[in-house]
């Protein structure tokens, strides 16, 4: 942690002398300034833990200084000291973001204590800032890996949406495509990224508990409600809330939720008062909403309301080479996690990944790479280390082979070979015969396409 660095600013040299003397035995590294400009220059070179400043100075008052300092570092606490115990200045100072307000004549004990507290708070604040910055990096636009057309289009849409802080957004897409990731990116790239982001899975709670969780409740609203409690919507106010698996809400809660979206007001369970809540609502689902509406499971008015801005996250099988790009990112992630140094996939492994149809989407890819990484001992993951447990994209049909678009001729060959092998239950004699090649050629082809077991 080190000795805290404190910058002290006062245009009165006598005060500086006094403070130098008064705090000479403290575990602070104090630097003194008689002009605000000098202090600001110093800050640009080294951030102090705390700034202590006089309020009335000839060329800049303490309040202006605070504003200036806050633009340099939001987390640095500023203690203001003044001869005039003017209440209005104190109020203005606190509003401008002063950490504390002390009056002259300076009481050294008071000053010491205030500095100590400010150091603590400043350190906590910068930890929080770091965590938030970490989230912003982790959920940047670039964290949505992919260069395929559907992903680029989606990223553009998200970019446009993230500038609008108050919106209702619906995320659609198969399981495992990255809806939660997209919701986080939307939040952490938006102007409200320093506000709360909360997720709730609507399928995780029975309806009455979900309602209490979302809207909060008043004391005595039900038997267990010993105290009143804020709901998630209220807690996330100003930020973003993700309602995952929105179709799991029952019809009566859907009605209540619709009214919230339209009026931006909530009423806690058992409460009378309406509370205004301003937040961005993102809902997500992997089910077919249209048929849920047709089947009476989902209210059509709510559907129309939340479907105004919807993003469909494309299935992995439609993202072409993104499979490889995302797969490589997972290799990096698991290198860190498992302390390995795998460099990538072999060509055979890449072909195998490309030929698969990924019914479990990115989550399935992650699991496949994780499994390969657990066992990986060589520099590159090879085809035989890729264990695809789900149904292949190119199932064998009596009437022929179904291949995805966008495969190279090599991939088509590999895929066809794989299917022929499966078709013949890996009877090599038979497969070679049907393909019109020798056993040796078959072996070479199997090696090339990672089909040796
Ligand atoms: N484009 C991408 N780049 C990198 N990682 C991704 C990408 N898309 C998804 N992932 C990762 O894939 C995993 C699954 O994503 P996520 O949980 O967001 O899916 P989902 O659509 O919410 O699934 P479900 O419908 O089952 O809730 C996560 O680990 C996520 O970080
Ligand atoms: Mg999800």
- Residues 265, 145 share a domain: yes
Index of the ligand 1 atom closest to the CA of residue 178: 18
- Residues 254, 119 share a domain: no
Average pLDDT over residues 228-239: 90
Residue 200 belongs to a domain: yes
Task: Tell the residue number behind the tokens 């570092």, with chain if given.
Answer: 73
Average pLDDT over residues 95-112: 88
pLDDT at position 393 over 80: no
The total of other beta-carbon atoms located within 10 Å of residue 162's CB is 21
Which residues are within 8 A (CB) of 324 and not within 5 positions of it... i.e. 6 or more apart? 345, 350, 353, 354
Residue 199 belongs to a domain: yes
Index of the ligand 1 atom closest to the CA of residue 329: 4
The torsion of the CA quartet 249, 255, 261, 265, rounded to 10 degrees, works out to -110
Q: Please give the pLDDT value at position 166.
A: 61
Across the chain, mean pLDDT equals 87
Q: Is 315 in the pocket of ligand 1 (CB under 6 A)?
A: no
- Residues 102, 191 share a domain: no
- Residues 143, 106 share a domain: no
Of the residues 96, 118, 135, which one is the last residue of a structural domain?
A: 135
Q: Which band of pLDDT confidence, cut at 50, 70 and 90, is reported for residue 400?
A: low
Tokens of 100: 């504390």
Q: Is 178 in the pocket of ligand 1 (CB under 6 A)?
A: yes
Distance 102 CA to ligand 2 centre (A): 51
Comparison of pLDDT for 88 and 7, the residue scoring more: 7
Residue 82 belongs to a domain: yes
| Beta bridge partner(s), residue 29 | 5
Residue 147 belongs to a domain: yes
The torsion of the CA quartet 216, 221, 224, 227, rounded to 10 degrees, works out to 60
Q: Is 186 in the pocket of ligand 1 (CB under 6 A)?
A: no
SS3 call for 22 = helix
Half-sphere exposure of 110 (CA within 13 A, CB side): 11
Distance 174 CA to ligand 2 centre (A): 9
Residue 411 belongs to a domain: yes
- Residues 213, 97 share a domain: no
Q: Long-range contacts of range 250-259, CB-CB < 8 Å, 24 or more positions apart?
A: 250/207, 251/297, 251/299, 252/207, 253/207, 253/210, 253/211, 253/214, 254/298, 254/299, 254/302, 255/299, 255/302, 256/211, 256/215, 257/214, 257/302, 258/299, 258/301, 258/302, 258/305
Which residues are within 8 A (CB) of 309 and not within 5 positions of it... i.e. 6 or more apart? 161, 167, 168, 169, 170
pLDDT in tens, 245-275: 999 899 999 999 999 999 999 999 998 899 9
Helix (H) or strand (E) holding 192: none
pLDDT at position 13 over 50: yes
Residue 453 belongs to a domain: no
pLDDT at position 321 over 90: yes
Distance 173 CA to ligand 1 centre (A): 11
- Residues 294, 161 share a domain: yes
Please give the Cα distance from 302 to 308 (Å, whole number). 10
pLDDT at position 173 over 50: yes
Average pLDDT over residues 173-180: 93
Q: Please give the pLDDT value at position 390.
A: 46
Q: Please give the pLDDT value at position 391.
A: 46
CATH number at residue 348: 1.10.8.60
Comparison of pLDDT for 83 and 241, the residue scoring more: 241
pTM: 0.68
CATH number at residue 32: 3.40.50.2300
- Residues 280, 169 share a domain: yes
Residue 27 belongs to a domain: yes
- Residues 306, 325 share a domain: no
The torsion of the CA quartet 393, 397, 399, 404, rounded to 10 degrees, works out to 0
DSSP 96-114: HT-SEEEESSP-HHHHHHH
Q: Is 181 in the pocket of ligand 1 (CB under 6 A)?
A: yes
Please give the Cα distance from 77 to 48 (Å, whole number). 9
Task: Tell the residue number behind the tokens 């800050």, with chain if given.
Answer: 43
Q: Is 363 in the pocket of ligand 1 (CB under 6 A)?
A: yes
Residue 360 belongs to a domain: yes
Q: Is 286 in the pocket of ligand 1 (CB under 6 A)?
A: yes
- Residues 248, 178 share a domain: yes
Please give the Cα distance from 29 to 370 (Å, whole number). 49
pLDDT at position 323 over 90: yes
Of the residues 269, 295, 312, which one is the last residue of a structural domain?
A: 312
Sheet holding 50-54, edge to edge: 29-33, 5-9, 50-54, 78-82, 100-103
- Residues 429, 355 share a domain: yes
Index of the ligand 1 atom closest to the CA of residue 313: 21
pLDDT at position 399 over 80: no
pLDDT at position 73 over 90: no
Of the residues 312, 335, 353, which one is the last residue of a structural domain?
A: 312
Tokens of 10: 């006062």
Q: Is 392 in the pocket of ligand 1 (CB under 6 A)?
A: no
Q: Please give the pLDDT value at position 85.
A: 62
Among 304, 212, 208, residue whose Cα is nearest residue 262: 304
- Residues 290, 417 share a domain: no
Domain total for the chain?
A: 3
Helices 428-435 and 409-423: angle between axes, nearest 10 degrees: 130
Q: Which band of pLDDT confidence, cut at 50, 70 and 90, is reported for residue 394?
A: very low
Average pLDDT over residues 408-436: 81
Half-sphere exposure of 83 (CA within 13 A, CB side): 6
CATH number at residue 218: 3.40.50.300
- Residues 131, 12 share a domain: yes
Which residues constitute the domain of residue 201? 139-312
What does R_g of the chain's alpha carbons equal in angstroms?
31
SS3 call for 396 = strand
């Amino acid at each position: 942690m080190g000795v805290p660095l404190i910058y002290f600013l006062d245009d009165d040299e006598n005060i500086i002398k006094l403070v130098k003397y008064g705090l000479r035995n403290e575990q602070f590294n104090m630097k003194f300034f008689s002009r605000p400009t000098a202090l600001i220059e110093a800050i640009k070179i080294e951030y102090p833990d705390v700034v202590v400043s006089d309020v009335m100075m000839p060329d800049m008052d303490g309040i202006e200084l605070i504003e200036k300092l806050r633009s340099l570092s939001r987390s640095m606490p500023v203690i203001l000291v003044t001869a005039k115990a003017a209440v209005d200045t104190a109020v203005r100072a606190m509003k401008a973001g002063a950490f504390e307000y002390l009056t002259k004549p300076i009481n050294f004990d008071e000053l010491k204590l205030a500095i100590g507290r400010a150091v603590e708070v400043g350190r906590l604040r910068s930890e929080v800032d770091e965590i938030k910055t970490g989230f912003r990096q982790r959920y940047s636009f670039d964290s949505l890996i992919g260069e395929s057309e559907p992903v680029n289009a989606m990223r553009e849409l998200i970019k446009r949406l993230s500038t609008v802080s108050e919106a209702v957004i619906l995320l659609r897409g198969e399981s495992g495509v990255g809806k939660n990731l997209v919701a986080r990116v939307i939040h952490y790239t938006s102007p409200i990224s320093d506000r709360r982001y909360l997720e709730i899975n609507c399928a995780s709670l029975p309806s009455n508990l979900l309602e209490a969780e979302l809207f909060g409740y008043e004391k005595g609203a039900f038997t267990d409600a010993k105290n009143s409690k804020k709901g998630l919507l209220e807690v996330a106010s100003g930020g973003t809330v993700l309602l995952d698996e929105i179709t799991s809400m029952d019809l009566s809660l859907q009605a209540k939720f619709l009214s919230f979206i339209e009026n931006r007001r909530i009423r806690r369970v058992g409460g009378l008062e309406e509370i205004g809540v301003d937040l961005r609502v993102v809902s997500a689902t992997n089910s077919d909403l249209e048929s849920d509406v047709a089947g009476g499971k989902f209210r059509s008015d709510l559907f129309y309301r939340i479907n105004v801005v919807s993003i469909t996250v494309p299935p992995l099988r439609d993202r072409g080479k993104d499979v490889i790009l995302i797969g490589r990112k997972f290799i990096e992630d698991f290198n860190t996690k498992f302390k390995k140094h795998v460099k990538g996939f072999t060509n055979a492994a890449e072909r195998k990944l490309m030929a698969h149809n990924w019914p479990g989407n990115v989550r399935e890819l992650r699991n496949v790479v994780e499994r390969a990484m657990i066992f990986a001992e060589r520099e590159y993951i090879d085809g035989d280390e890729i264990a695809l447990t789900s149904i292949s994209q190119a199932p064998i049909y009596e009437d022929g082979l179904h291949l995805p678009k966008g495969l190279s001729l090599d991939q088509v060959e590999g895929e066809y070979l794989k299917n022929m092998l499966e078709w013949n239950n890996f009877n090599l004699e038979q497969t070679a015969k049907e393909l019109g090649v020798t056993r040796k050629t078959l072996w070479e082809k199997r090696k090339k396409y990672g089909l040796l077991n």
